[in-house]
Amino acid sequence: MLKENIRRIARELHEEAVANRRHLHANPELSFKEYNTSAFVAKKLTESGIPFEKKADTGIVALLKGTKSDSDQVIALRADIDALPITEANDVAYKSQNPGVMHACGHDMHTSSLLATVSILNQLKSEFSGTIKFIFQPGEEKIPGGASLMIKDGALENPHPTHIIGQHVMPELPFGKIGFCEGPYMASSDELYITVKGRGGHGAIPHLNIDPVSITCQLIVALQQIVSRQANPIIPSVLSFGRLIADGATNVIPDKVEIEGTFRTFDNEWREEAHKRMKKMVSSLVEGMGGECDFEIRRGYPVLINEERLTKEVRYYAEDFLGKENVINIDPCMPAEDFAFYSQQIPACFYRIGTGDEANGITSGLHTPTFNIDEKSLETGPGLMAYLAVKSLGN
């Protein structure tokens, strides 16, 4: 009966969940600036009579206690609320009204889904024991990561959950499918900022200059040796540079070149070692070619680890709710997620929910201006998470 009750309420709430998602999609806010989004979440929780606290400025932590029997068991469910600096290209009624900002990573779905999960569980609180902590978290898209700030502000305390569960949209998966990966799932992520300084001048007399463009070209190629020749081949590692500014001209060598990139891996020890090797290589190569440099590594998110026992358990419940044919294995991936900070503190399970719909042209990837979701997932997502929560509490 629990399963059927959850499914019924999820169906009844679907229209409201879609409306909430469309409101959030039309009014996106960047990381750590989610004031209206936070106020919207607080309003919905207040209307449902759910107590909550503000954390890390724009974050919210709500609590719901089951009344079936006394239990000190506590679990946490998490959604992120921030958007990206992308100009939306979709022609939809709920298109972003905030120029240059878009929910292109599905956080609008995550937030509306968790709000619907709160409503489902609130209606069924007499059918479970224990406490569920709902974390609406800011700043997933920007270092230092809202998860780290929420943890520092006590989001995992008073009460302390035994484990945490999170979901994330996956447009590559069709609606109705769920993906799990046990163990290390998403890579650590660090940002690299390098300024190569030389001595600019006329491009026709390079011998009188110190060319930072030439030095930078050598440097980018050389740094790839960190991954291709110095990393253990069995440890996934990625080093990419996506921004290079050399503000000269056809006949002008600039004084400096700025480059920005990312380093990702699945091994914390190698992460630290790679940082040391990159700093040494950058310094020696640039100075050896007559230049100077500044090199900053901004530490990002750690490796996201899906605790194996918990993930097996959650997967079992997902198969029970959706059917085994709709629950699949997915591979580890190099993108990063600040949910990893929670996974470093307590057992965690972070799974993917299918939101693609090829027949209706909903196929664009995350972080693209045409990203969208199959909104039928706003029935599956809340219902599944509600079921996982109740079963994880031992009910």
Q: Mind telling me the catalytic residues?
A: 82, 140
Helices in 48-153 by DSSP H: which ranges? 107-123, 146-152
What token pair was written down for 81? Answer: 């609320």
Phi, psi of 11 (to 5 degrees): -65, -45
**Closest CA relative to residue 50, chosen from 95, 140, 115, 129:** 115
Task: Return d(Cα 114, Cα 64) in angstroms, integer.
Answer: 13
Question: What number of H helices and E strands is found in the chain?
Answer: 9, 16
- b/e sequence 56-72, b meaning 16+ C-beta within 10 Å: bebbbbbebebeeeeee
- Report which of 367, 312, 286, 382 is spatially closest to residue 87, judged by C-alpha positions: 367
The answer to whether 174 and 354 are in contact (CB under 8 A) is: yes
Residues for the chain: how many in total?
395
Asked whether the beta carbons of 199 and 210 are under 8 A apart, the reply is yes
Q: Six-digit token pair at 145? A: 């990561």
Residues 6+ positions from 137 with CB-CB distance below 8 Å: 56, 59, 78, 79, 80, 81, 146, 147, 150, 155
The structure tokens listed for 100 are: 């240059």
